[in-house]
Structure 1
Amino acid sequence: MAGGREKESKKGKKKKKKGKGGGGGAGPSREPEDEAALAAGEEAELAAALEESARLEEERQAPDEQASSSLAAERPPSVEEEEPPDDFVCPITTEVMSDPVMAADGHAYERTAIERWLATKSTSPLTGGELEHSILVPSHMLRRMIRDWEGARKAA
């Protein structure tokens, strides 16, 4: 058994000798000139990348009007452009209102939907609180805004 230990220790010594002069095992050793050339090359690449980034940013901030209008014509409208504003949607039917009215709770509803609601209940559909009265007031401004929005959507 003692002979086996001697072989192990000799192997360990050989490994130590291999590690010397190899740059600590962190890779091939480089001469100072090689490192300077590498750093200069990296700096040049970084400068080129920064220039390209600045050029792209300028194009994004001040686009050519013809290019931007053609891009707008080519891309399909996003989901946000298609969805109506929340105020245009009846909270009862969840559809765009055509005859919006104001109830006593201060919220707008589609006339037929709130009339059906008030036929059996005297509470607000949104708050659940008791309504002071069941009078429904036409919201002409909201109706006009909805029609304008729909017209702009159809024209686009």
Structure 2
Amino acid sequence: MPLSLATIRAAFLCHLIKDIMIDSVICTVGYSYDRWAIEEWLCSFPTSPNTNECLYNKYVISNKTLKSVIENWVIC
């Protein structure tokens, strides 16, 4: 069963800002966020915004695959 456009778009939204991610990153618990939003969050809170789970470090890494998929979706 094909996914609806609304379902696909929802997968591209940053949980923190409720908008499509521009510079998607993954935090240590595996959730993706827009870089500036999660970095701002992590300055104030030591937990995951999705799960409230304590983060043992505040490293984020680029989610290049998701970023590429979003960019291609926006172009289409």
Aligned to 2:19: 95
Aligned to 2:70: 146
Looking at secondary structure, tell me which structure has more strand per residue.
2
3-state SS of 1:137 partner: strand
Query: Identity of counterpart residues, as a percentage?
Result: 29
Structure 1 residues 1-156: aligned runs within 5 Å: 80-81=4-5, 83=6, 84-152=8-76
Structure 2 residue identity aligned to 1:102:
I
In the superposition, the TM-score normalised over structure 1's length comes to 0.44
Unpaired stretches in structure 1, ≥5 consecutive residues: 1-79
Q: Which has the higher contact order (CA 8 A, sep 6+)?
A: 2
Deviations 1:71-110 (CA, angstroms, capped at 9, x unpaired): xxxxxxxxx53x4432210000000000000001100000
Instruction: Please report the RMSD computed on the Cα atoms of aligned residues, expressed in angstroms.
Output: 1.1
Looking at secondary structure, tell me which structure has more helix per residue.
1
Unpaired stretches in structure 2, ≥5 consecutive residues: none
Structure 1 residue identity aligned to 2:57:
H
In the superposition, the TM-score normalised over structure 2's length comes to 0.88
